[in-house]
Amino acid sequence: MSGGVDSSAAAVVLRNQGHDVVGVTMRLWGGESDTGCCSVSDVDDARRVAQQIGIDHLVFNFSEEFNQRVVDPYVKSHVEGTTPNPCIECNRHLKFDKLIERGRELGFDAVATGHHARIVEQDGVKRVARGDDAAKDQSYVVHMLSEEDLEYVMFPVGNMQKSQVRELAAQAGLRTASKPDSQDVCFIGTTIGRAGFLEPRLTFNEADVFDTDGNKVGVVPAVELVTLGQRRGLGLGGGDIRYAVDVDVPGRRVVVGTEEQLYAPTSTVSSMSWPHQQDIALVTSTEVLVQGSAHGERHAARVEQQGDSFVLHWVRPNRRIAPGQTVVFYDSTDTMVLGGGIVTA
């Protein structure tokens, strides 16, 4: 229970179905926070909701693991010049791996979350599928769940519209019924932002900015903060709109170009997650739909395996996805998750 309306409603659904429910809030970020699902007020909201619906509430302190698995890699990615996705890694290592491990240790029959995704059975195997509310679908962020995980995990609100979730919470009189959804990285406070968070944790370095003809056109004060596709903050002044089309953090060099120069025919992906190993053959033999962000558009691609990596051959040239970002493969109906990985090139 993160303190939001979705996990609150999930607890109500399970209680109403007759399950013996215990609410669990994970204490993850130990520093200051006024965003996401780690603030003191969120923990209090979860505790109060548990009281309202008459279930026990526990707090698991996973702050050390959170720092090791999410925060430290987030900082390291900026040093190496990749664009991290901390919410994906939090789901991978904390909200599922660690929580499932703790749930099994304590003898619980299942772990349920408030994610808008579904678990469906197809050809005798369980798969993650998109939630019924397309606007709130979160299958992208839970794509890493294994076949074994899917036997233990439940998504009680995955077949509900967000309006139904809020209505259920309101009918139960929950304090979270009208609470806004959290949108930001939980450890990046709104007052300091990404730069303020990173500044005491790494050294910012200036970088020269060049156009695609090799002409120096500007300087950025912190190359570690520049992302592929970035348009603002490149110190270019007026004139034509240009984007960061190449970012070399170790080389202290940024190249800018037109929007058309952001497009590429292929992307390379590694660090794969496959719910079922047989899906490798399926993905490499059929055209799949690929999603490159939590609520991004889907683009068709043919997938070629090259050792431990997979090359996505876009059916139509696609805007390049920054290395470090996650892509998820869906079947041709844009419903079932087939796998996912991290872009390397």
User: Would you please indicate which residues are annotated as catalytic (active-site) residues?
Assistant: 90, 186
Token couple for 4: 């939001």
Buried b (16+ CB within 10 A) or exposed e, 181-204: ebeebbbbbeeeeeeebbeeeeee
Cα–Cα nearest to 282, from 312, 296, 302? 302
Q: Contact at 8 Å (CB) between 228 and 74?
A: no
**Residue 62 identity (one-letter amino acid):** F
Q: How far apart are CA 121 and CA 103, in angstroms?
A: 23
Kindly report the number of other CB atoms within 10 A of residue 93's CB atom: 19
**What are the beta bridge partners of residue 122?**
125
C-alpha triplet 114, 130, 136: angle, nearest 5°? 55
